[in-house]
Amino acid sequence: MKLGEDEARRRFSSSREARLATLGERGRPHKVPVTFAVVGGTIWSAVDEVKPKTTPRLRRLANVSAHPAVSFLADRYDEDWSRLWWVRANGTGRVVLSLDDVPEAREALCARYPQYAAWPPAGPALAVDVARWVGWAGS
């Protein structure tokens, strides 16, 4: 069954992680799992120092700078298919170099993920202004 925007947003916001899809070089898709927080109509995902990375200059940042149209997907799988659901958030992204400029985003990320308590994300971060919430549920 199709989900209304409010229910889609609620389910997405309750998910612990999502997949972020961006367009890379030559229009090739690039999808990665991300942690996130929803603040108002914006989804925030930070480049943190908690999870190992080879560089803070992640491909997703370059992709969004070049092609700001992005999509997030959160879902739930269950062997009981009546419990399945998925939500997609489509929007326009931008790179924010420092979360010092957006303390409410940093606070929301720290509130969702206790791992950030010792290492609050400083940035850079992606801010995606959601234009459309779309979802489906098995029941």
Q: Which helix (H) or strand (E) segment is 65 a member of?
A: helix 59-66
Q: Write the pLDDT tens digit of every residue in 98-110.
A: 999 999 999 999 9
Count CB neighbours of 132 within 10 A: 11
Q: Looking at the structure, give the CATH architecture of the domain made up of residues 2-137.
A: Roll (2.30)
Note the maximum CA span of the chain.
44
Q: Write the pLDDT tens digit of every residue in 51-92.
A: 555 655 688 999 999 999 999 999 999 999 999 999 999 999
Q: Indicate the domain borders of the chain.
A: 2-137
Rounded Cα gap, residues 55 and 48, in angstroms: 11
